[in-house]
Amino acid sequence: MSPWHVNDSTLQAYAAQELATLERASVEAHLMRCDACRGGLARLAPASVGTVSFDAVFDRVQTRIESAPRTTPWLRRMGVTDADTVVVRQIGRQCLQWTIAATLILALAALAATLNVRDSAQLGFVLLAPLLPALGVAATYRLTPTSTAALESTSPYSPARLLLWRTAYSVATAVPASVLFGAVIPGDPWMAVVWLLPSAACTAIVLAAATWTDPLRPALAVSAVWLGVVTSWHLRDVPDAVLAPPTQLVSLAVAAAAGTVLARRLLALRSPAF
């Protein structure tokens, strides 16, 4: 052991990180081989040397987290609570890839209709636009890891509330893009919005059925039916049938009926699927 020792004032300056580089290196070299000075340092600055102050770390972390810019301030302005914002952000994170893929496919359909690559190219858009919100609801469930879904299903958070937030996310991400792409398709200007009632019908059916079963099943069934309807329009050479009042009226009636079933199911809150 060295006969020389670091004095208390130097140790205090070292602990406070106030020593110059050369002096600090000299003290550290001595501390490496001197138990007495290491003990003295520990007594002088027990909280700052040799241990990690977790409280201090957490304070910094808390500050970072709570002061971090939120990506969803508009949700707060709409009256969405802080807790629900956490849920919506989680849904968005989980479904980002789906949202991007769905938007790209819709853009391609709109591009094909705009370029009029075939006579009935706009039917591609008519096929896709009404289905995206319904398929999006199913996607929000299927893209959730199984174990996370188990934690959701065994938590007290209302499954109906979770279903409605997922629906809101799907509608909010699919509808604006569909309206935008529909607006650029040449032809009838109503094409931008004419798919909304069929879309409402498809989505309401999936939501009502989701109170009994996995949303993917009704989403696939509804997609198959809608594909059949659009195909029949193509075969009968009536590509504008979606604009016809009967189509809109039937869609409205189906949406109202499915919406009524959904409302009754949510109010009853007795679904085994929940």
Residues lying near other proteins in the complex (CB under 8 A): 52, 54, 57-58, 61-62, 64-66, 81-84, 86-87, 90, 93-94, 144-148, 150-157, 269-272, 274
Shortest distance, CB of residue 96 to other proteins, whole angstroms? 8
Question: Least Å distance between CB 183 and other proteins?
Answer: 33
In whole angstroms, what is the distance from residue 202 CA to residue 250 CA? 12
Closer to other proteins at the Cβ: 98 or 181? 98
Q: How far is the CB of 65 from other proteins (least distance, A)?
A: 6
Distance CA 178, CA 197 (A): 13
Compute the least distance from the CB of residue 75 to other proteins, in Å: 14
Whichever of 55 and 237 has its CB closer to other proteins, that residue is 55
Q: Which is nearer to other proteins, 25 or 100 (CB)?
A: 100
Distance CA 181, CA 192 (A): 7
Q: How far apart are CA 172 and CA 95, in angstroms?
A: 13
Q: Is 232 helix (H, G, I), strand (E, B) or coil?
A: helix
Which of 84/240 has CB closer to other proteins? Answer: 84
DSSP 204: H
| Residue 144 or 251 with smaller CB distance to other proteins | 144
Burial class (CB in 10 A: 0-12, 13-18, 19+), 182: buried
Give the nearest distance from C-beta 113 to other proteins in angstroms: 34
Distance CA 203, CA 226 (A): 12
Rounded Cα gap, residues 215 and 20, in angstroms: 66
Given the complex with other proteins, which of 212 and 274 has the nearer CB atom?
Answer: 274
State in angstroms the smallest separation of the CB of 235 from other proteins.
Answer: 41
For 98, 181, 228, the CA distances from 104, given in Å and listed in that order, are 10, 11, 23
Of residues 48 and 114, the one with the C-beta less far from other proteins: 48
Minimum CB distance to other proteins smaller for 62 or for 260: 62
The residue type of 36 is: A
Q: What angle is formed at CA 172 by the lines to CA 131 and CA 196, rounded to 5 degrees?
A: 45
- At residue 185, φ and ψ (nearest 5 deg) are -75, 125
Tell the smallest beta-carbon distance from residue 158 to other proteins (Å). Answer: 8
Q: How far is the CB of 134 from other proteins (least distance, A)?
A: 23
Q: Tell me how far apart the alpha carbons of residues 255 and 103 are, in angstroms, rounded to a whole number.
A: 24
What torsion, rounded to 10 degrees, do the Cα atoms 258, 129, 198, 232 define? -120
